[in-house]
Structure 1
Amino acid sequence: MNLAAFLESKGQEYAPFDPKRAHRIYAKLAPMLKLENLKVIHILGTNGKGSTGRFATLGLLQCGYNVLHFSSPHLWRFNERFYRNGADVSDEDLEEAHCFLQAQGFVNEASYFEYATFLALYLAQKCEFLVLEAGLGGEFDSTSVLSANLSVFTPIGFDHKDFLGTNIESIAGTKLRAMGSNVLLAPQAYTESTLIAQRVAKDRDARLFELACIESSARFWAELEAFCVCFGLRYEADCVFWQEYRAYVARYGYADFLAQNLLVASFALYFFGIKIDFKTLPPLNLRGRCEWVTPRILLDVGHNEECAKALKSVIEQKFKQRRVILVYNTYFDKEVRCILEILKPCIEELWVFPLSGNPRVIARNELEAILEDLGITYRDFILEHMEDSKNYVVFGSFSVVAGFLDTFEGELCRTN
């Protein structure tokens, strides 16, 4: 059975899981893998994992390292989850990894995401760095089978409540208990997350650095000096680093949250003695992360309250507080009402993007009931009805972003 058929047999990625299964499988698999010299940056949290990991990866590639970035989910092809040395891995390389795993019968009990993780470990054997993005969990996540050189926690918020719990203490606790011996904590929206991180770090005798929001060069240098003290690193002042960082952010028009994720990635690399050169760093090449398709079309993936707040801020800044047409759809287990309440002041009209064939998509009548209760005007998305004079934000699940790009870019190819 080839990889595509095997993954299809695994069914839903969010199927019930055995919290000990991945560790049990890895205990048998580890002796067969050559990972002794691999440095691991483990990216955990709720929001910003993908962009933080990719920024770190681009910085490592810039310095000539062999690196694999494992991320999830994908927009179009499963290969997107395995970004190695500047490109998605080939079908042939994935099949090779799959054949290796299939030769070990005990791996077959792995879930979809667990199997993807083990594919990543095989593919990372010839790499110097593995940037490993956790799935929905933390301590029981399959990416936690490895001992990380550095654990990086992006902002933790509400998501996957069916799996992680309905309060921030439960969600943050599950994620933070996956920390290794060296921990970089990005600025958090909830004080509870920081307090839990401090408690877990103390219990495990881990070195924890809590990165503050940085808005000035003076604050940056103070944070970097404290970071070096925390981890016993050599501190070297560089008067142009902050200016070049700000110039890079301005050059590509990054939203504030992406700029913050870039800073987190910069600190993560500094832990390994690596400094990003912003003059030559390429732009973020992970689709759907606050991406401008045209000057009037912005698209972003997001599922929770924090994502909605960040998007609202971007709309107010970039569209000069003008209201937009929101192209939207999502899954039934997401914070739909909360998200739409936050975005409502920015919404001129909502266009429901069609999604089919996925049982997790919110029922149309349920979405309409929420929209009507909130007093948000809505209609079906029709590409031909988009006007050059209007502003559009495409937001919601990965399926929405992928579907819109297929439709929009397909039409551009047809007309050109």
Structure 2
Amino acid sequence: MNLAEFLESKGKEYAPFDPKRAHRIYAKLAPMLRLENLKVIHILGTNGKGSTGRFTALGLLQCGHNVLHFSSPHLWRFNERFYRNGTDVSDEALEEAHRFLQRYECVREASYFEYATFLGLYLAQGCEFLVLEAGLGGEFDSTSVLRAHLSVFTPIGIDHKDFLGDTIESIAGTKLRAMGANALLAPQTYTESSLIARTIAKEQGAKIFELGTIESSAQLCRELEVFSACFGLESKEDNEWWQAYRAYVARYGYAEFLAQNLLVASFVLHFFGLSVDFETFPVLDLRGRCEWLTPRILLDVGHNEECAKALKSVIEQNFKQRRVILVYNTYFDKSVRHILTLLSSCIKEVWIFPIIDNPRVIARSDLEAILQNLGIAYRDFALEDMRDFQDYVVFGSFSVVAGFLDAVGARWTRLSVNTLKQKESNAE
């Protein structure tokens, strides 16, 4: 059975959960894996894990290190979850990893995500760094089988309530209990997350640094000074670094939440004595993270209220109070009513994008009922009806973003904001 057939038999991400299974399997695999010299950066949280991890991986690559970035989910191909030294791993590399794992009977019971994690561990052999993004959990997540050199917690919000509980306390507790000996906490939406993090760090004897919001060079220097003192590091960034960082953010038109994730990644790199050169730092190469395709088409994957709030801010800042057509669809277990309520003031009309052959998609009748109740006009998505003069925001599940990009028939490279503005000016 090849890898594709084996994964198909696993039933995707939502297999029955056993909190001890991944640790039990790893205990048997560990002696056969060469991971002794691997530095592990564990990325946990609710929002921003993918971009924070990728910015970190790009920084490590720029500094000359071998790195594997394990992330999920993927847009088009399973290979996207394994980004090794600047590119997605090949089919051949994945099949080799699969053949290795299939030697051991214990892996047969692994869930889809657990098996993906173990593939990632095999593929990380020979790398210096593993940037390991957790799934929806924390302490029981398969990515927690490794001891992290640094645990990084992105903003924790309310999501996956069926698995993690319906309060921020239960969700944050599950994620934060995966904390290693050293932890970096990104600015949090909920104060409860910070309180729980400090309590867990004290119980576990971990060093923890809570990053504040940084809006100036002076704030950066203060935060770095405290961060460096916490972990016994040398503080070395300065005003010139801050100016280069802001210029880089402006060059690619990153939304503020992406700029914040880049700052978090910069602190991660500082933990390892590294710093990026923003003059040559590459653009974020994860698709669908608040990505501009044209001056009037914005893509963003997201499915909770925090994502919707961040997207609303981007729309208000960039579309000059023009209402947008929202190309949208999502899953039944998401806070659809709250999300659409938050975005309603920015929406001219919703175009419902079809998600095919996915049992988790919200029933069309349920989505229509919500839209009708909110007084939002809606219709089916139709590519042929898109117009150059209209503003579009493509938002929702990974299936929506991937399907839209397939529908338009091109996988554009992100353009700089200056280029986008120039194109818009020329068009007018």
TM above 0.5, yes or no, is: yes
Aligned equivalents of 2:410, 2:60: Cα separation in 1: 34
Give the C-alpha shift of residue 16 in structure 1.
Answer: 1.9
**Counterpart position of 1:181:** 181
State the match for 1:322 in structure 2: 322
**Would the aligned equivalents of 2:12 and 2:113 in 1 still touch at CA under 8 Å?**
no
Q: Does 1:24 align with 2:17?
A: no
Per-residue deviation, 1:267: 0.2
After the TM superposition, which parts of structure 1 deviate over 4 Å for at least 4 consecutive aligned residues? none
Distance in 2 separating the partners of 1:269 and 1:409: 37
What is the rounded CA distance, in whole Å, between the counterparts of 1:278 and 1:411 in structure 2? Answer: 25
Give the equivalent residue in structure 2 for 1:276.
276
Cα separation, 2, equivalents of 1:277 and 1:56: 13
Offset of residue 356 of structure 1: 1.3
CA contact (8 A) 2:137 2:175 kept: yes
Does the CA-based 8 Å contact 2:33-2:125 persist in structure 1?
Answer: yes
Residue identity opposite 1:146 in structure 2: L
1:217 pairs with 2:217: yes
1:271-310 maps to which residues of 2 (within 5 A)?
271-310=271-310
Secondary structure of 2:409's aligned partner: helix
Structure 1 residue 373 displacement after superposition: 0.5
Q: Distance between the aligned counterparts of 1:279 and 1:24, measured in 2?
A: 46
Show the counterpart of 2:112.
112
- Matching residue's letter, 1:368: E
- 2:254 is aligned to 254
Deviation digits for residues 360-397 of structure 1 (CA, Å, limit 9, x no counterpart): 00000000000000110000000010111110000000
Q: Give 3-state SS (helix, strand or coil) of 1:42's partner.
A: strand
Give the CA deviation at 1:411.
11
1:78 aligns with 2:49: no
Question: Is 1:374 aligned with 2:374?
Answer: yes
Please show how residues 9-408 of structure 1 align to structure 2 within 5 Å: 9-408=9-408
**1:145 & 1:369 partners in 2: Cα distance?**
43
Q: 2: distance between equivalents of 1:50 and 1:244?
A: 23
> Deviation digits for residues 117-147 of structure 1, max 9, x if unmatched?
0000000011000000000000000000000
Find the residue that maps to 2:120 and give its secondary structure. helix
Task: Using the TM superposition, give the Cα deviation of residue 14 of structure 1 relative to its aligned residue in structure 2, in angstroms.
Answer: 1.2
Deviates more, 1:12-21 or 1:377-386: 12-21
Question: After superposition, what is the alpha-carbon deviation per residue over 1:197-243, rounded to whole angstroms, capped at 9, x for unaligned?
Answer: 00000000100000001111111110011100010101224331100
Aligned-pair CA distance for 1:19: 0.4
Q: Please tell me the residue identity of whatever aligns with 1:66.
A: N
* 2:36 partner letter: E
**Partner in structure 1 of residue 3 of structure 2:** 3
Give distance in 2, aligned partners of 1:161 and 1:43. Answer: 20
In the TM superposition, residue 323 of structure 1 has moved relative to its aligned partner by: 0.9
Report the CA distance between 1:176 and its aligned residue. 0.2
Q: 1:191 to 1:109 in 2, by over 3 A?
A: same
SS, match of residue 35 in structure 2: coil
The amino acid that maps onto 1:165 is G
Give 5+ residue unaligned stretches, structure 2.
413-428
1:13 CA displacement: 1.0
Deviations 1:171-212 (A, max 9, x none): 000000001010000000000000000000000010000000
**Partner of 1:293: helix, strand, or coil?**
strand
Question: Per the alignment, in what secondary structure is the counterpart of residue 299 of structure 2?
Answer: strand
Partner SS for 1:395:
strand
SS at match of 1:83: strand
How many Å separate the matches in 2 of 1:186 and 1:264? 6
Amino acid at match of 2:281: L
SS in 1 for 2:327: strand
Task: Tell me how far apart the structure 2 counterparts of residues 16 and 212 of structure 1 sit (CA, whole Å).
Answer: 38
Cα 1:411/1:51, change in 2 over 3 Å: closer
Give the aligned residue type for 1:369. Answer: A
Distance in 1 between residues matched to 2:115 and 2:89, nearest whole Å: 16
- Measure, in 1, the Cα distance between the counterparts of 2:159 and 2:408: 29
Q: Quote the Cα distance in structure 1 between the aligned partners of 2:188 and 2:107.
A: 36
Report the AA paired with residue 49 of structure 1: K
- Flag structure 1 segments of 5+ consecutive residues without an equivalent: none
The normalised TM-score by structure 1 is: 0.98
Q: Give the partner amino acid of 1:283.
A: V
| Code of the aligned partner of 2:292 | W
2: CA distance, partners of 1:322 / 1:377:
16
Cα distance, 1:410 vs. partner?
Answer: 5.1
Partner AA of 2:246 in structure 1? R
Distance in 2, Cα, partners of 1:313 & 1:201 = 33
Q: Sequence identity of aligned pairs in percent? A: 78
Q: Distance in 1 between matches of 2:12 and 2:42?
A: 24
Q: How many residues align?
A: 412
Task: Give the Cα–Cα distance (whole angstroms) in 2 for the partners of residues 182 and 339 of structure 1.
Answer: 34
Compute the displacement of 1:409 (Å). 2.4
